[in-house]
């Protein structure tokens, strides 16, 4: 097994956390009492009351818009990432080509990046080089940043039939350096001697 050195460590590449700007809204009636049928829109530093929709219609329309908008952003991120991942040939030069896009998506919305990477794993599960690209991307972030979806991707990659994908997944687990992930690695079925030796070395490191 050839040892691989990560292009960047998670400590060297820091991304801004996503900030959700909440709209300040108040539900009230002319009497000043709470009324779910009336919505007050905040404009600047003053509140201008205006009845927009009945409660159900307003929130249903906003939820629908948010879902469609998020889906569009995820699809766009998937397309941009796959355009680069498909040319990954396990070299550092080909790895360099996709970092700019990963950085842009992560800076814009880390949750969109996570959803896009999950989608890519599902849609391109038969493309080892694309899956290895996903593993490299995740190596660039700490486990705590990806805890809601990262371990699920890790499990999918470790259970892949391709040994190179398993190797990259093991590299990811090693990079996260978290002993709580040990049960995942210990239960992986692996027949290649060189890969088993690599997995065992990571297990020993995390146990020590």
Rounded distance, CA 80 to CA 38, Å? 42
In whole angstroms, what separates CA 65 from the centre of its chain?
A: 22
Q: Please report the pLDDT score of residue 194 as a whole number.
A: 95
∠ CA 114-107-165, rounded to 5°: 35
Q: Please report the pLDDT score of residue 74 as a whole number.
A: 97
**What's the whole-model pTM score?**
0.70
Q: Count CA within 13 A, CB hemisphere, residue 159.
A: 10
Q: Please report the pLDDT score of residue 42 as a whole number.
A: 33
Q: Please report the pLDDT score of residue 29 as a whole number.
A: 40
Question: Could you give the strand order of the β-sheet that contains 46-49, starting from the edge strand earlier in sequence?
Answer: 25-26, 40-43, 46-49
Q: Please report the pLDDT score of residue 66 as a whole number.
A: 85
Rounded distance, CA 62 to CA 38, Å? 16
H helices of 98-192, in order, are 99-108, 110-123, 128-139, 150-158, 163-176, 182-186
Q: Please report the pLDDT score of residue 63 as a whole number.
A: 67
Per-residue pLDDT of the chain (208 residues; tens, 9 = 90+): 444 444 333 333 333 333 233 333 333 344 444 333 333 333 333 344 444 445 555 555 666 768 899 999 999 999 999 999 999 999 999 999 999 999 999 999 999 999 999 999 999 999 999 999 999 999 999 999 999 999 999 999 999 999 999 999 999 999 999 999 999 999 898 889 999 999 999 999 999 8
């Amino acid at each position: 097994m050839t040892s691989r050195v990560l292009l960047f460590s998670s400590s060297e590449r820091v991304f801004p956390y996503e900030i959700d700007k909440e709209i300040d809204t108040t539900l009230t009636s002319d009497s000043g009492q709470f009324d779910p049928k009336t919505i007050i829109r905040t404009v600047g530093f003053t509140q201008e009351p205006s009845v927009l929709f009945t409660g159900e219609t307003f929130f249903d329309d906003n939820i629908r818009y948010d879902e469609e908008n998020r889906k569009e952003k995820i699809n766009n991120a998937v397309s941009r990432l796959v355009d680069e991942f498909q040319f990954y040939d396990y070299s550092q030069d080909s790895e360099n080509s996709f970092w700019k896009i990963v950085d842009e998506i992560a800076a814009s919305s880390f949750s969109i990046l996570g959803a896009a990477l999950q989608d890519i794993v599902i849609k391109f599960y038969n493309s080892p080089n694309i899956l290895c690209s996903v593993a490299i991307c995740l190596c660039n972030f700490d486990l705590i940043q990806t805890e809601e979806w990262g371990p699920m991707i890790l499990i999918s990659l470790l259970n892949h039939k391709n040994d190179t994908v398993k190797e990259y997944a093991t590299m990811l687990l090693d990079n996260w350096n978290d002993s709580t992930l040990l049960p995942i690695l210990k239960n992986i079925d692996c027949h290649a001697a060189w890969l088993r030796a690599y997995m065992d070395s990571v297990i020993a490191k995390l146990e020590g």
